[in-house]
């Protein structure tokens, strides 16, 4: 006999052998996992749920997609049948009906070598949790590091996601404007540094307030020569954080001349910058734009036989896992990333499927985690 294949061709198979004692197809027993269940090895279907709950297929569909349409007792019966059978709705079919994927796209970049910062890792986990509470899932994608737009076009054309979360908001990054020009729903974690007139939704943490808090903490401990190690001027985030250090110093009429250094965000850069500052400006404390730079300062102090917190105070930014486990513990500004994720999802719910409107940004306040690295100024008279 011949059998048609999926490709439209034919293959020859052996003739079926007669089995005298075989029952008719209608008499073949249906193997089920339990009474009222589904065939073992087969995933339960909407029809199986309907049969078990004693309702129509449309009622099961309503229970999954529009539960508010059902009476409480009917909804409870269907939900119990779903739980008993382990039924999972077909996401693809539901997407076709609702024209929504309930997926949020987030591009992730590879971790940079020579850094001690896992801020994005913490944010991603927080975003996944907050999204799940709102009925969404997060779709992570990557792209060519040299092309900040890689990956966005394919997802946008295929309508694979309902919206995007943009985390790269550094000066000159085109992602936000590219998405805005295409009327694609998105929320940015970070302010639109290069476009003050941008109307898209964003959530950010007040880095200036965090560094002002860190500097004031050191000044309250008697330090008057507090140095700053931050990023190059083209980093708006870095300059924003630097402004907090500068404001705290000037509020107490303290000079900042010769006490600032701008470098790359690596441990090596923090190490070399702190060495130069110690030699040329003799600071008694450091405030750094990141824990990565602060780790470089700790290396320099160790090489010189100095102890952080006793001889020279150090405060970082981001409260990384490294800051929490290094000895002495590194005082660090902590971003409320869990709250950032919640606010991002709230903003996403406002932009998905809604007419375009101008959104106001949300600016959250950080806190300071005080550990042993930020002790009082050393008494030089002793």
- Per-residue pLDDT, 27: 40
CB 213 within 8 A of CB 245: no
Q: How confident is the model at residue 28 (pLDDT cuts 50, 70, 90)?
A: very low
What's the pLDDT tens digit per position in 84-130?
Answer: 988 876 554 554 444 567 899 999 876 666 555 578 889 999 999 99
Q: Residue 17: inside a domain, yes or no?
A: no
Cα-Cα-Cα-Cα torsion 190, 165, 363, 351, nearest 10 degrees, comes to 130
Burial class (CB in 10 A: 0-12, 13-18, 19+), 56: exposed
Closest by CA to 190, choosing from 161, 213, 165, 162, is 165
Confidence of residue 20 (pLDDT cuts 50, 70, 90): very low
- Name the nearest CA neighbour of 214 among 238, 239, 249, 190: 249
Look at residue 177 in the predicted model and tell me its pLDDT: 85
Q: Are 291 and 116 in contact (CB under 8 A)?
A: yes
6, pLDDT greater than 50: no
Least confident of 41-45, 120-124, 220-224, 346-350: 41-45
Question: Span 31-46, mean pLDDT?
Answer: 58
| pLDDT at residue 145 greater than cutoff 70 | yes
Highest mean pLDDT among 13-17, 45-49, 103-107, 293-297 belongs to 293-297
Per-residue confidence (pLDDT) for residue 180, from 0 to 100: 86
Mean pLDDT score, 148-158: 84
Same domain as 347, residue 297: no
Collapsed DSSP state (helix, strand, coil) of residue 208: helix
Give the Cα separation of 262 and 234 in Å (integer): 10
Burial class for 339, CB neighbours closer than 10 Å (0-12, 13-18, 19+): middle
Q: Residues 345, 349, 355, 359: is their CA dihedral positive or negative? A: negative
- Compute the residue count for the chain: 382
Q: Give how far Cα 276 sits from Cα of 239, 260, 283, Å.
A: 21, 11, 11
Q: Is position 361 within any domain?
A: yes
Give 169 or 189, the one with higher predicted confidence.
189
pLDDT at residue 1 tops 70: no
Mean pLDDT score, 328-341: 97
The pair of three-digit structure tokens given for residue 255, joined into one six-digit string: 């000079």
Q: Are 179 and 106 spatial neighbours (Cβ–Cβ below 8 Å)?
A: no
For position 117, what pLDDT does the model report? 59
> For the residues 346-375, what does the mean pLDDT come to?
87
Q: Which has the higher per-residue pLDDT, 177 or 237? A: 237
Burial pattern 26-45, b for ≥16 Cβ within 10 A else e, equals: eeeeeeeeeeebbeeeeebe
> 10 pLDDT exceeds 60?
no
Choose the most confident range, by mean pLDDT, from 9-13, 76-80, 274-278. Answer: 274-278
- Note whether 227 and 307 are same-domain residues: yes
327 falls within a domain = yes
Tell me, yes or no, whether 218 and 322 share the same domain.
yes
Tell me which residue has tokens 């801020």: 119
Number of structural domains found in the chain: 3
What pLDDT does residue 302 have?
97
> Residue 128 maps to which CATH number?
3.40.50.2300
The token pair at 44 is 């339960």
Could you tell me if residue 30 is inside a domain?
Answer: no
Give the domain extent around 60. Answer: 38-89
Instruction: Quick: pLDDT tens for 186-235.
Output: 999 998 887 666 778 999 999 999 999 999 999 999 999 999 999 998 88
Peptide bond into 275 cis (omega under 30): no
Predicted pLDDT at 111: 65
290 closest CA partner among 266, 261, 310: 266
* 224 and 190 together in one domain: no
The secondary structure of residue 342, as a DSSP letter, is H
How much is the pTM?
0.72
In angstroms, the CA 127 to CA 130 distance is 5
Share of the chain above pLDDT 70, in %: 80
CATH number at residue 42: 1.10.260.40
């Amino acid at each position: 006999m011949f059998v048609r294949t999926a490709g439209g061709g034919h293959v020859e198979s052996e003739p079926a052998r007669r089995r005298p004692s075989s029952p008719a197809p209608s008499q073949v027993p249906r193997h089920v996992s339990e009474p009222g269940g589904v065939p073992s090895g087969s995933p339960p279907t909407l029809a199986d749920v309907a049969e078990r709950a004693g309702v129509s297929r449309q009622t099961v569909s309503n229970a999954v997609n529009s539960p508010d349409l059902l009476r409480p007792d009917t909804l409870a019966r269907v939900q119990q049948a779903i739980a008993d059978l382990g039924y999972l709705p077909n996401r693809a079919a539901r997407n076709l009906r609702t024209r929504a994927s309930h997926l949020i796209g987030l591009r992730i970049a590879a971790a940079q070598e020579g850094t001690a910062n896992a801020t994005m890792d913490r944010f991603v986990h927080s975003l996944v949790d907050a999204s799940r509470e709102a009925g969404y899932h997060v779709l992570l994608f990557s792209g060519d590091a040299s092309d900040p737009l890689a990956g966005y076009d394919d997802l946008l054309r295929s309508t694979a996601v309902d919206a995007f979360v943009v985390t790269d908001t550094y000066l000159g990054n085109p992602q936000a404007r590219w998405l805005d020009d295409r009327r694609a729903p998105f929320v940015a974690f970070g302010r639109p540094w290069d476009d003050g007139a941008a109307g898209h939704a964003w959530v950010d943490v007040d880095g200036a307030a965090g560094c002002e808090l860190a500097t004031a903490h050191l000044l309250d401990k008697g330090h008057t020569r507090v140095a700053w190690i931050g990023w190059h001027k083209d980093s708006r985030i870095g300059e924003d954080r630097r402004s907090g250090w500068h404001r705290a110093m000037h509020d107490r009429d303290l000079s900042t001349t010769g006490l600032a250094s701008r470098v790359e965000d690596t441990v090596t850069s923090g190490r070399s910058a702190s060495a130069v500052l110690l030699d040329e400006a003799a600071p008694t404390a450091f405030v750094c734009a990141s824990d990565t730079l602060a780790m470089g300062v700790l290396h320099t102090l160790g090489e010189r036989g100095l102890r952080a917190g006793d001889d020279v105070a150090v405060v970082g930014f981001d409260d990384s896992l490294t800051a929490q486990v290094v000895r002495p513990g590194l005082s660090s500004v902590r971003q409320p990333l869990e709250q950032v994720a919640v606010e991002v999802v709230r903003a996403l719910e406002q932009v998905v499927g809604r007419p375009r409107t101008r959104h106001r940004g949300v600016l959250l306040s950080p806190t300071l985690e005080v550990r042993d690295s930020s002790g009082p100024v050393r008494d030089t008279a002793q």
